[in-house]
A = this chain, B = another copy of it.
Amino acid sequence: MGATMKDIAKRTGLGLATISSYLNGGNVREKNRIKIEEAIEELHFEVNEVARGLKTNRTKTIGIVIPELNNIFFAEIITETEDILRNHGYATMICDCRSDEKREEEAEEFLFHRRVDGLILMPTGNGEKGIQRFLRAGKPVVLIDRKMERTDCDCVLVDNEGAAEEAVERLFAAGHRKIGIIAGPDNIYTAKERLSGYRKAFRGKGLTPEEELIARGDYTIAGGARAMRELMEKNKEMTAVFISNYEMTVGAMMELNDLGVSVPEELSVIGFDNEDFAKALRPRLSIVTQPSGEIARCAAELLLGRLEREPARETGTAESGNSEEERPETVILKTGFVEGRSVKYL
């Protein structure tokens, strides 16, 4: 089932090359063009991209590995990326690794076997093995959200440290001093940076935060709830909290609900990400926002750029061609802040 170019050739009495030429926008005599188009119509011919991919060694497919699809921040990035890539003729294969390092590596292997032309990765683990495989094959890799020290590829980040610092500074500016933080797991890049920004804000005031004010969440809703409870129990004098990712923000707000703590009267709160959620809360939550669209555009641009520049270089020769252009780039984007009514001015 499914007509092939050969069928079209036979039907029109033309050669394979002519059909191929037509299909790829080459010059074909008007008369033949019409014949070909008729044949295509009648035989319901549709190009087989798989065969094309085998021949050209380019599948026009990009792999995306993501910790959780079921996470609005990542999902937003993916949507936009997929859109851009598809507009450039690229399909995307998405693998959700459920924040599991092993599954992440399996996904990379899986995608490599399917010969995707490039990889967009929001890393869960620190394993470079999967990435190196791509790099060695001359396939571009773009990291999103998290940096990996030793790996040589493009990278799109936001200024996590600055974002956290600014958020905490706002709390200071509102007169707060006993400011808690719900931090993330310390093996995650963004979590480290955000905690570091929190500390930096204290340092800027010549202060050092008490250790009890720092609660560890695990970037999940449940973890955020747990951390908030812990914070409330250990810090009777705490007047404000900064929550360092979206899921934990949801969890923390749930917990405050359960505890019957009123915001901002009894506790001021600044959360993270997802404007829609923030606006639906009462009172509206002040949050740090990340530019997901811009992140997606940057990542897609970096990837497409390399894809067009290096025409599937077959040889893995160490010598780099166009020196400047080939160097990995790191783009750092600014975060935003959306003011709600969850911070009380003391």
Contact = CB atoms under 8 A, between A and B. Distances in A.
Interface of A: 1-2, 46-51, 53-54, 59, 61, 68-70, 72, 75-76, 78-79, 82-83, 86, 91-96, 98, 107, 109-115, 136-138, 221, 250-251, 253-254, 257, 276-277, 279-284, 313-316
Question: Which 5 A-B pairs have CB atoms at the shortest separation, nearest pair first?
Answer: A69-B79, A253-B280, A70-B79, A49-B114, A254-B280
B276 A221 contact: yes
Contact of A115 (B48, B95, B136, B283): B48
Given A49-B115, A82-B94, A254-B280, 8 more contacts: A1-B315, A48-B54, A83-B96, A83-B98, A221-B276, A257-B284, A277-B277, A281-B281
13 contacts: A1-B137, A1-B313, A48-B54, A48-B115, A49-B115, A70-B72, A72-B75, A91-B93, A91-B111, A92-B93, A92-B94, A250-B280, A282-B282
A96 B114 contact: no
B282 A280 contact: no
A128 to B, nearest CB: 16
A314 to B, nearest CB: 5
Contact of A48 (B51, B113, B257): B113
A315 to B, nearest CB: 7
